[in-house]
Chain A
Amino acid sequence: MPSITGVSAVDELPKPEGRGPFLTDRVPAGTGRLGDRIFGGTATGAGLLVIAIVTLIAGFLLSQALPALAKDKVNFLTSTQWNVDGTPLQFGIANLLWVTVLSSVIAMLIAVPFGVGVALFITQYAPGWLSRTAATLVDLLAAVPSIVYGLWGLQVFGPHMSGIQDFLVSHLGWFPLFTPSGIGAASTILTVGVVLSIMVLPIITALSREVFAQTPVSNKDAALALGATRWEMIRTAVLPFGKPGVISASMLGLGRALGETVAVMIILSALADGSAWSWSMFNGGETFASKIANNAAEFDSPQKAGAFLAAGLVLFLLTFVVNSIARIVINRSKAFSE
């Protein structure tokens, strides 16, 4: 009898002389070797296509950015100038890099604990009807467009940040990260970070939820049988099992936070040229994505476009590096589990 995959042990046995023809000899099964080849080929092709697209994007960024980088008169990584309109060409991404990294780090510091907590609640603590509702509601957060987040953050949520800002400034104002600046509380890096954390939360929650639900029941039962409380069971059985998944989810969320454009453009106040360098999270500024988007309509010379795409290239490399570190961490923790 032909097996479902079209390959069976019968095919390998030597054929006895004079036997009648088997079904597999005459009829090529629809799900037989041809089906295997087609499916395998399609899957490989899809994988290669994705790799090709990423490589082509990297190639595009490099080809546009390198001429401008070659003509740059100041250090690309440490300068805060941005004169790309005429000669001499001077541009540097120090400001952009700091604002991008700071807003994303704030977003992750808030979103990861919250996201993991919500995922644990949904999978371990909540009764069935509540966990389904809560899961749907959190997923709805991902359906809200970024521009709506930007407008809400600027006009509704932002004004409430002034209380937090005053508190932090009065108690920790001596620390460079908390020095006050003249920017209104609704338009600071901190506000952007908090709104980004809300945007990133559904990604982390959804993926962590899936991972925690896959925890082997035997592990959980074993912990409980040994006398662990609910929290101890989670800490010893669920969390270690879910750690690679949570890290993957966080990396996806971080990718979104690093690349978020519209919400940042609307909320964050840009700084005038020549503003003094500040480490503060109460300052304004621009991220890579928002700077490119703000100026995209007026790329009227190849030099100018090249400078902005060089900034885009840095963002691309930053995300790549962060993802690689995450992959290494995941692989190492997998080696020790199970």
Chain B
Amino acid sequence: MKTQSRQRFASITGVALVGVLALSACGSNNNTPTSAATTGGSTAAASNCPTGTLNGEGSSAQKNAIEQAITDFQAACAGATINYNPTGSGAGIKQFIAGQVDFAGSDSALSETPKAGATSIEQADADKACGSPAWNLPMVTGPIAVAYNVKGVAKLILTPAVTAKIFNGAITTWNDPAIAAINPGVTLPTEAIKVFFRSDDSGTTDNFTKYLKGSAPSDWPQATGKKWTGKGEGKQANAGVSNAVKATEGGVTYSEWSYAKDNKLSMALIDNGAGPVALTGESVGAAVGAAKIVGVGNDLKLKLDYATKTPGAYPILLVTYELVCSKNKDAAKGTLIKDFLKSFAAADEQAKLQAIGYAPLPSAVQTKVASAIEALS
């Protein structure tokens, strides 16, 4: 009997302890970063806000940006609920074509040629699923930083050729003459360069390799794509590579700007031929501005010029698109998507994205995106 009551007492204490721990995790959600969030977020008049639920899926590169936009939109429009699941661009496109989600986020626009092993074309499939042309609307530009951890080197300048050689394993120590030549006056240590790459298929890898191939084709003969084709150690996701560089002396990697900033990593200045350019919102915006629009009409597929010699343009970036039906089968959802995207593309929302590591759309592209959104129905 005594052991029974002792056991009961012990189990009640255990449950109480667990309950206290669980309830202590309840707290108010203070995620809005700036005080202007509540006032600046309502670009659409709160009185004619549509209600409903939207489901989106896709790119994880734009996860932080779209979550910020969703928080602001839901704060302004109480009746609207938007869910975004960052399962990856490939999964997002598949679900969009299958009609399972209302919009998708993707690091690359819908392709116009069949993928390996398949017979159908993504753009055609999406048009068929929508019943109307599917539009690729660029919404978020994610700058890709070349982050490094080298003691005593606060400012490092890299050219496309040297970058390609580093990530190819052709240059193996930090004090290599090729690096020293473009960094006069900087003492580089003798330690080995440790390259970290993304072991998972990723849009960041895709765009970084496209940059290397576009700007230094002779030094980067390998293919471009979501799978890494250079040398180094593979780590999982942006978080993995950034943490690895932070923990390893002599480490270098390519990762989203926000992750490099969060881990307080030094980022290299890129010299594409017009002088070294640091990674800032404006320099990335200049590169997006130099891109060509290859889509027709309101389909705003961009072709980035990775070899751009525009002064002040930071050339390594990825653009994530929102894939939407130009004429939604469900009119109410169409209105909700339109309002959400309008608030997402608005100038003040875009400016807010800079604080979380994305670059705002330059005004020329932003006006085109805004007029395309107006044409949605």
Contacts and interface: CB of A to CB of B under 8 A. Distances in A.
Are A and B associated in one complex?
Answer: yes
Interface of A: 85-87, 89, 154-155, 182-184, 186-187, 265-266, 269-273, 284, 286, 294-295, 297-304, 306
Contacts of A273: 227-229
Interface residues of B, number: 35
B117 A304 contact: yes
B197 A300 contact: no
Nearest to B92: A297
B94 A300 contact: yes
A271 to B, nearest CB: 7
A122 to B, nearest CB: 18
B143 interface: no
A8 B94 CA distance: 63
A298 B228 contact: no
Contact of B116 (A87, A184, A187, A265): A87
Contact of A272 (B87, B197, B247): B197
B368 interface: no
A295 B200 contact: yes
B201 A298 contact: yes
Given A183-B233, A270-B234, A302-B117, A297 B199 contact: no
Contacts of B244: 184, 187, 269
Contact of B234 (A154, A272, A304): A272
Interface string B279-314: 000000000000000000000000000000000000
Nearest to A299: B90
B117 A187 contact: no
B54 interface: no
Contacts of A286: 199, 234
B150 interface: no
Contacts of A269: 199, 233-235, 244
Contact of B117 (A183, A186, A301): A301
A286 B90 CA distance: 22
Contacts of B226: 85, 298
Contacts of B234: 269-272, 284, 286
Contact of A302 (B93, B118, B192): B118
B225 A294 contact: no
Given A85-B116, A272-B197, A298 B90 contact: yes
Nearest to B114: A301
Contact of B236 (A183, A265, A272, A302): A265
A154 B192 CA distance: 22
B2 interface: no
A310 B375 CA distance: 46
B88 A266 contact: no
Contacts of A297: 60, 87-91, 200-201
Interface centre among A89, A186, A270, A303, by most B CB within 10 Å?
A270
B200 A294 contact: yes
Q: Which of B94, B117, B225, B228 has the most C-beta atoms of chain A within 10 angstroms of its own C-beta? A: B117
Contacts of B231: 272
Nearest to B168: A272
B117 A270 contact: no
Q: Which of A183, A269, A284, A302 has the most CB of B within 10 A?
A: A269
B113 to A, nearest CB: 11
A296 to B, nearest CB: 8
Interface string B196-208: 0101110000000
10 contacts: A85-B116, A183-B233, A294-B201, A297-B60, A298-B90, A298-B91, A300-B94, A303-B117, A304-B116, A304-B117
B115 A266 contact: no
A287 B76 CA distance: 47
Interface string B84-116: 000111110110000000000000000000011
Contacts of A300: 90, 93-94, 115
